[in-house]
Structure 1
């Protein structure tokens, strides 16, 4: 397993700069990352250095539409995934549907409303913290039914490993992963490390994701103010989001009980199932 400090240093590489294959291949072929042919940014959250989650239970990744036969075998075999949660819009799913995987249950719940187009002006100030706060708080709201289903899975099926993905496996998936790590009692620096690791995990498809971001924001160019703040991952962005959750919902746990309807006993069981072998 790679050293946490070395991982963090590489993960802090600005997205405008290339991470070379010599730098990222050794990282992406050892824990916490898992090489799955046909996708990217795949990792076992329980193997992130310092993570309190039990290994082999919660996985995250980018889109699965291009999985090779070998990739399918790794996901269902070596990783032992029993269920996949898809955090994407109907349009994203329509363009790149998940493949059918033998013995793996697929769950997609249509969001409460369409995602809004990020306003680059909101990302232009500072390092884009205010834009990230708003964007991630929207993720919490728009995908709350998916969050509820994932938490129910953890409560009720602690022996069934699962994988969560969106398109890049970065933002929507990252918000969910941060929630689970926080519930499990992970220190702030561990939550941030997992969040930032997507910078390394998406490097093999960095140029494709840059193009995806241009189209998704209607940016005129990469040089438009706010664009690079939007596509970079920074610890300050995560901190701004956590502050927003605290101010708007009283924190993750209160959101889960007040907004998603879980009891305090449910919450205790979810925490135990995330961490107990």
Structure 2
């Protein structure tokens, strides 16, 4: 048992800033004004009082934010909290969705597109709403209960979940079994090795070199599950059936998930400007777990504090880093389609059909 005394009352979703080292589930008793909650050592524990997030999002007359508002909020320094009024309004604004027990959940088809995403030829651009979802991990002891499963499977109609995590992450917290939903996770050899981050790679500029290395490793290390996701979309076009909604995730729903989202949006014809915005929105989507994620990043990178050289660049989302990664994809593969053809082994015609499925054509 671990008891934590908290004397101040929370009026918003609250985050437990501790790390448990036991491999077994541990009960955490909260004394004061918080309810009890259960955490796994690898989970992010979300504590909700009577002023909980679901009530904030469903009972309050929250204004939805404009695209410009979302962009401005996504540029908030990661070391600083986003004001609660702003985060509630943002999470009530598409493309964000609220599912208890997870976070950073979005419908890629509801990403607000700019004029730069227009094909100019009358062809659809962008992913069809209700087809592709992205999120962070699922935490049963953080609220992912039967009601959340029903929301995911019945209300959103998700039929397949693709897990983009390492062997260690998956073994500690496998995806939940949900009736009518098939889980996909591939224990590729490259994912057997835990991702190591060298802060020296993030020292210069905004950390572009570190991000390029980290994200190119995602494309190489998770190619099997990425290929399985794309082939599931391709199968729908070959069978002339309506594609089934899918969700893909990693742990934070930020880096590995962001790379795959960038690939799918690009195949659907979305402009680089709007793909970049989707990546930046993870600053908002991860706010509910910001303190935990900073702690995990410090441990993984061997940083002594948030002031450690290179650490701020590692945990921040800067446009320059995504742009540097996209340039590297073009240099190495000739672009996203080149990666799909050259690495995943799909033909030009298959890539075109995947794009049509994504756009709902």
Q: TM-score, length-normalised on structure 1? A: 0.97
CA RMSD in angstroms, aligned pairs only = 1.2
1:5 aligns with 2:68: yes
1:32 match: secondary structure: coil
| Structure 2 segments unaligned to the other structure (5+ residues) | 1-63, 114-124, 237-241
How far 1:116 moved relative to its partner?
3.1
Equivalent position of 1:40 in the other structure? 103
Aligned length: 277
2:189 match: secondary structure: coil
How far 1:115 moved relative to its partner?
4.0
Q: Comparing 38-47 with 258-267, which one deviates more in the overlay?
A: 258-267
Equivalent position of 2:186 in the other structure? 109
How far 1:64 moved relative to its partner?
1.1
| Structure 1 segments unaligned to the other structure (5+ residues) | none
1:149 aligns with 2:228: yes
Rounded Cα–Cα distance in structure 1 between residues aligned with 2:91 and 2:189: 34
**CA distance 1:56–1:268, shift in 2 (3 Å):** same
Equivalent position of 2:204 in the other structure? 125
Rounded Cα–Cα distance in structure 2 between residues aligned with 1:85 and 1:116: 19
Rounded Cα–Cα distance in structure 1 between residues aligned with 2:65 and 2:358: 23
Q: TM-score, length-normalised on structure 2? A: 0.75
Rounded Cα–Cα distance in structure 2 between residues aligned with 1:24 and 1:78: 24
- Greater Rg over alpha carbons, structure: 2
Equivalent position of 1:193 in the other structure? 277
How far 1:244 moved relative to its partner?
0.9
1:84 aligns with 2:161: yes
Which structure has more RCO (C-alpha within 8 Å, separation ≥ 6)? 1
CA-to-partner distance for each residue in 1:96-141, whole Å, 9 max, x for gaps? 2211111000000113312431110100111101110110001100
Alignment of 1:154-193 (within 5 A): 154-157=233-236, 158-193=242-277
Rounded Cα–Cα distance in structure 1 between residues aligned with 2:319 and 2:136: 21
Rounded Cα–Cα distance in structure 2 between residues aligned with 1:120 and 1:212: 14
How far 1:26 moved relative to its partner?
1.4
Moved over 4 A (4+): none
Equivalent position of 2:52 in the other structure? none
